[in-house]
Chains A and B, each alone.
Chain A
Amino acid sequence: MPRTFEKSPAGTRQPLKARTFHRMGTAISLTVPPDAAAGGNGTEDGLAAATAVVERLFSELDQRFSLYRPESEASALARGELSLRDASPVMRERYAEAHEWRLRTEGAFTPERPDAVLDLSGLIKAYAVQESGTSLRALGLQDWCLNAGGDILVSGSPGPGTSVPWDLGIVDPADRGALLAGYPLGGSGGYPVCGRRRHAALATSGSAERGDHIWRQARDAPAFVQVSVAAADIITADVLATAIVAGGMPMLDRATDGWDVAVLAVCSDGALLGTPDFRG
Chain B
Amino acid sequence: MRARGAVSAALASAGILLAGWQAGTQVAEIRSSAEATSAGTATGGTGTSGAGGSTSGSSGTSGAAGSAGAGSASATTYDGAAVATRFGSVQVQITVKAGVITEVTALQLTDEDRKSVQISNRAAPLLRSEVLAAQSAKVKSISGATVTSNAYLTSLQAAIDAANL
- A interface with B by C-beta (< 8 Å): 4-9, 11-12, 15-18, 20, 22, 25-27, 29, 31, 34, 104, 125, 145, 147, 149-152, 158, 166-171, 173, 176-177, 179-183, 191-194, 196-197, 202-211, 226, 228, 232, 252-253, 256-261, 263-265, 271-280
Which of the listed residues A20, A22, A171 has the most CB atoms from chain B within 10 Å of its own CB?
A: A171
Give 18 A-B contacts (CB < 8 Å), ordered by A residue: A5-B164, A9-B163, A31-B140, A31-B161, A145-B141, A150-B147, A169-B134, A170-B142, A181-B133, A182-B139, A192-B51, A208-B145, A272-B127, A273-B124, A273-B126, A275-B123, A276-B121, A280-B131
Complex: chain B residue closest to A31, CB-CB: B164
Distance to closest chain A CB from B129 (angstroms): 8
A177-B156, A253-B122 as given contacts; A193 in contact with B143, CB under 8 Å: no
Distance to closest chain B CB from A66 (angstroms): 14
Interfacial chain A residues near B157, Cβ < 8 Å: 27, 29, 147, 150
B148 touches A7 (CB 8 A): no
Q: Is B110 an interface residue (CB 8 A)?
A: yes
Distance to closest chain A CB from B142 (angstroms): 5
Interfacial chain A residues near B125, Cβ < 8 Å: 271-273
Complex: chain A residue closest to B134, CB-CB: A182
A196-B113, A257-B119 as given contacts; A179 in contact with B136, CB under 8 Å: yes
Q: Is B66 an interface residue (CB 8 A)?
A: no
Distance to closest chain A CB from B79 (angstroms): 16
Interface string of B51-79 (1 = CB under 8 A from A): 11000000000000000000000000000
Select which of B110, B134, B140, B146 is within 8 A of A179 by beta carbon.
B134
- 5 A-B pairs with least C-beta separation: A206-B145, A171-B144, A182-B134, A27-B152, A18-B164
Interface string of B30-65 (1 = CB under 8 A from A): 000000000000000000110110000000000000
B147 touches A179 (CB 8 A): no
A26 to B146, CA, bound (A): 8
A18-B161, A152-B141, A280-B130 as given contacts; A258 in contact with B87, CB under 8 Å: yes
A259-B116, A260-B88 as given contacts; A265 in contact with B123, CB under 8 Å: yes
Distance to closest chain A CB from B151 (angstroms): 8
Select which of A158, A182, A209, A253 is within 8 A of B146 by beta carbon.
A209
A258-B87, A279-B131 as given contacts; A150 in contact with B146, CB under 8 Å: yes
Q: How many residues of B contact A (CB 8 A)?
A: 55
Select which of B119, B121, B139, B149 is within 8 A of A27 by beta carbon.
B149
Q: Is B23 an interface residue (CB 8 A)?
A: no
A168 to B132, CA, bound (A): 11
B164 touches A17 (CB 8 A): yes
A26 touches B126 (CB 8 A): no
A158 touches B137 (CB 8 A): no
Interfacial chain A residues near B138, Cβ < 8 Å: 167
A259 to B118, CA, bound (A): 10
Interfacial chain B residues near A279, Cβ < 8 Å: 126, 130-132
Complex: chain A residue closest to B88, CB-CB: A260
A150 touches B142 (CB 8 A): yes
Distance to closest chain A CB from B140 (angstroms): 5
A170-B134, A206-B144 as given contacts; A196 in contact with B116, CB under 8 Å: no
Interfacial chain B residues near A20, Cβ < 8 Å: 158, 161
A205 touches B135 (CB 8 A): no
Distance to closest chain A CB from B57 (angstroms): 12
Interfacial chain B residues near A273, Cβ < 8 Å: 123-126
A193 touches B131 (CB 8 A): no
Contacts beyond the supplied A180-B131, A226-B144: 13 A-B pairs with Cβ under 8 Å: A9-B165, A169-B139, A170-B142, A171-B156, A181-B132, A182-B132, A191-B49, A194-B51, A209-B145, A228-B143, A259-B87, A274-B131, A280-B133
